[in-house]
Structure 1
Amino acid sequence: MCTTLSAVAATCLITVPAEARPFSPDPCALARTAAHHSEGVATWNSAYPRPTRALDAVMVFLSFPDSQPLTTPAELAADHFPATTGFFRRASYGRFTLRPHPLRHWVPMPRPSTAYAIRRDWSPGHRSAYLRDALAAADPHVDFRRYGVVYFVADPDAPGVDSDATKVVNLDTPLRADGTDIRRVVTVFENHPPDRLVLAHETGHVFDLPDLYRRPVDADGDWDTHVGDWDLMGSQFGLAPDLFGWHKWKLGWLEPRQVACVRGTGPVRLTLEPLGAGPGVPVAGAAGAPSFGLGRGTKLAVVRTGADTALAFEARGPVGDDAAACRAGVLVYRVRGGTESGAGPVRVIDAHPGTEACGRDSVYPPLADAPVGLGESFTVPGDGVRVEVQGRTPSGAWTVSITPGAGAPGRG
């Protein structure tokens, strides 16, 4: 076993041949690589369940002989549901439902909590022992054939439980129960109440999404320099934790026509819907009145920049899971398909590098104002790709121009 772990008129600016193909995004789809949780989207890794349908998840609550639980399974289940289901329902535009099935009683473990040496960087031996004991204890109470996701939730008040140890365990050799292979388990060691959206983050790993935070060598370093508030897989505490459009593409939540592959050298004009807007979700339009007409237009624009790299552009603002977003505009980020989970496979590009925002609330204020705002233009350093945010439509969508071969870097 191993842990793997404004509304202004916009004119068409096309001056030389260029292409935007929302119905054929394949040329911009990075190939999936051998990197753990690769950001390649050309194919799906069949070792993971793809969340394009309803999935049932079992929650098993584990007690230990060295501690009398101070909470009930129902209280711990309520820490995570329905919030986790709601997050994914909004993020997937209703395409995915996570259905929890929590046990109503504690399942006793055979050994004290301290016997498993639970911590963030868990030894393989102790981790294996914990999983074997947990599965054996739970098997009489659970038919594992019924579930696509397994959560083992430890008594948060047991002396050996470390709240920093919550993670997904991927198994080289699957566990076996009820005639079915169990290839990954979410081990939950959270306090009561837990970190916000922590279970949604860990469940993202079950669907092959990588960690986007930076783990500093110095324990006092900043963890959020790569993506800041802008994706749950970077921080569950973020002000705008909706999953990147790239991740929604990967997971099958965006239709091919909702992804525009921008090619050529001249400007391409696009209309980007707010990423969080789905059917029935109100979005403030150009005049400030709510509009409910968005949800199935273009959500993501992509410029391929190399064999294994791409730039992504999406409209973000206080909509859906991003209701607390600090700033609105077009967010730009770089994706690397061959970069391992935790090593920076996605990095947000700051269109306002000299400023920051929402200092008391943001997990990383320098990136809280990263989006290109209304009436602004920005050229991506090192790539020369230029984006202009030209206006807002009455429905609340953003009109933008993207020029793949714009030239020198800078912001206008």
Structure 2
Amino acid sequence: MSALATTTILTGPSAAEPFDTAPCALHRTEAHHSEGVDVWNPAYTRPTGPLNAVMVFLSFPDATPHLTPDELAADHFPATSRFFEQASYGRFTLRPHTVAHWVNMPRPSTAYAIRRDWNPALRAAYLRDAFAVADPEVDFSRYDVVYFVADPDAPGVDSDATKVVNLDTPQEVDGTEVKRVVTVFERHPPDRLVLAHETGHVFDLPDLYHRPEDGKGDWDTYVGDWDLMGSQFGLSPDLFAWHKWKLGWLDPRQVACVRGTGPTRLTLEPLSAGPATSVPGIAGNVAFGLGSGTKLAVVRTGPDSVLAFEARGSTGNDVAGCRQGVLVYRVRSEVASGNGGIEVVDAHPDTEACWENSVYPPLADAPVALGESFTVPGEGVKVEVEGRTMSGAWTVKITPGALG
């Protein structure tokens, strides 16, 4: 069943402009993993269409692997590919290719002192050795993404050290330049969707969690459960519509730039809804006819900031979601990765939800629910969730006010 008209404009000075997104497209800045969407950062591969990834499994002389490469590959695939297939509405396919045997590193695992905040010289030595032993086995010119997967049972391997390494000087191998590598040190079985999170960095997505200076306290205060780049454990880990716009998975007509001071009515499709046939094996996508309507509404709030509005439901990647409704969040393009470039606005600041399995219960009930209205503190922007269409989309009225 198709969605109703995606945008309805009220009379008056305001206008919803899904075909003219420029006024709401933040400029990309020099901040690491800037949330700007006006241009793509050419230093990164944009995940549109199919990309090939290679997984190389590294063993060490101080340990005999207890697992096979096939078992470790199954920890991450096809789950990682399915996540991106669903998130991109079938516009991006990650194709994994695995080296079927262990590749032996020249030094013991303990020699590299692997840890989360890794000594740069030791990390560089690890990568030099990894490329040297893998090169006879792999033609790196064939791949867009490189995963080096360490034997999780080796004594020097720290599961907290999994991350993307951006190489200051690209590694030249097989006639190509490798600019970044995903170093995987996960235990078996691994953290949920951890490889999808790290792969997001390969595509210029930032960390959205807050790392306390002393390592203690909540890490998920910025976005809670609501985006994979905040937490791979989130109940609703689908990527924000803002990120989907940045990655090229939304057409301009799917983004409504709300301007002026008067009210604008529009219809928002659930973020995860898309063609059901695009992701074999994923349950929960019940909005079969949705996928091409408006996914994101944006109100400009400053030179480098906007408010974003999207509908979140329990479908697709969000099938385990805690609450449904219209999620509101702030985006700032001048903020570097890990410093709060996106922050969810809590429409129910005095309550929390799903405390037994949410990564941050105070934000688990953040969306504006059906029949509710909410004025964003400090912005004067009001959102009213007026109804649902027969196809499951959300009818919304947004009033920017004097600050719009």
TM-score (norm 1): 0.93
Q: Distance in 2 between matches of 1:230 and 1:315?
A: 11
Aligned match of 1:285: none
Q: Equivalent of 1:17, from 10, 13, 20? A: 13
Q: Deviation at 1:292?
A: 2.0
Kindly report the root-mean-square deviation, in angstroms, between the aligned alpha carbons of the 2 structures. 1.5
Please give the secondary structure, in 2, of the residue aligned with 1:390: strand
Contact 2:223 2:230 in 1 (8 A): yes
Q: Equivalent of 2:202, from 197, 203, 206? A: 206
Q: Distance in 2 between matches of 1:13 and 1:327?
A: 28
Q: Deviation at 1:358?
A: 0.2
Q: Deviation at 1:406?
A: 6.6
Q: Distance in 2 between matches of 1:280 and 1:263?
A: 33
Check if 1:262 corresponds to 2:251: no
Aligned match of 1:133: 129
Q: Equivalent of 1:378, from 374, 379, 382? A: 374
Check if 1:173 corresponds to 2:165: no
Aligned match of 2:29: 33
Q: Deviation at 1:217?
A: 1.3
Aligned match of 2:348: 352
Q: Equivalent of 2:118, from 94, 102, 122? A: 122
Q: Which moved more, 1:216-225 or 1:344-353?
A: 216-225
Q: Deviation at 1:291?
A: 4.5
Check if 1:392 corresponds to 2:391: no
Please give the secondary structure, in 1, of the residue aligned with 2:165: strand
Report matched runs for 1:59-208 at 5 Å: 59-208=55-204
Identity of aligned residues (%): 76
Q: Distance in 2 between matches of 1:394 and 1:258?
A: 19
TM-score (norm 2): 0.95
Aligned residue identity for 2:140? F
Gaps of 5+ in 2: 1-7, 279-284
Aligned match of 1:238: 234
Check if 1:308 corresponds to 2:319: no
Contact 1:64 1:110 in 2 (8 A): yes
Pair 33,291 (structure 1): closer, same or farther in 2 beyond 3 Å: closer
Q: Deviation at 1:14?
A: 3.4
Aligned match of 1:8: none
Aligned match of 1:340: 336
Q: Distance in 2 between matches of 1:252 and 1:71?
A: 38
Contact 2:57 2:101 in 1 (8 A): yes
Q: Which moved more, 1:212-221 or 1:373-382?
A: 212-221
Contact 2:9 2:16 in 1 (8 A): no
Please give the secondary structure, in 2, of the residue aligned with 1:104: coil
Aligned residue identity for 2:167? L
Q: Distance in 2 between matches of 1:397 and 1:15?
A: 23
Contact 2:274 2:287 in 1 (8 A): no
Contact 2:59 2:103 in 1 (8 A): yes
Q: Deviation at 1:24?
A: 1.0
Aligned residue identity for 1:321? N
Q: Distance in 2 between matches of 1:35 and 1:13?
A: 36
Q: Distance in 2 between matches of 1:248 and 1:13?
A: 24
Aligned residue identity for 1:371? P
Q: Deviation at 1:337?
A: 0.2
Q: 1:7-36 CA deviation, whole Å, 9 max, x = no partner?
A: xxxxx7935310100111111000000000
Q: Distance in 2 between matches of 1:13 and 1:54?
A: 37
Check if 1:223 corresponds to 2:214: no
Aligned match of 2:359: 363
Contact 2:227 2:238 in 1 (8 A): yes
Aligned residue identity for 1:108? N
Q: 1:313-357 CA deviation, whole Å, 9 max, x = no partner?
A: 000010110000000000000000000000000000000000000
Q: Deviation at 1:45?
A: 0.2
Contact 1:385 1:404 in 2 (8 A): yes
Q: 1:362-396 CA deviation, whole Å, 9 max, x = no partner?
A: 00000000000000000000000000000000000
Please give the secondary structure, in 2, of the residue aligned with 1:195: coil
Please give the secondary structure, in 2, of the residue aligned with 1:105: coil
Q: Distance in 2 between matches of 1:112 and 1:291?
A: 51
Aligned match of 2:399: 403
Q: Deviation at 1:281?
A: 7.1
Pair 280,44 (structure 1): closer, same or farther in 2 beyond 3 Å: same
Contact 2:305 2:332 in 1 (8 A): yes
Pair 36,290 (structure 1): closer, same or farther in 2 beyond 3 Å: closer
Please give the secondary structure, in 2, of the residue aligned with 1:87: helix
Q: Distance in 2 between matches of 1:58 and 1:13?
A: 48
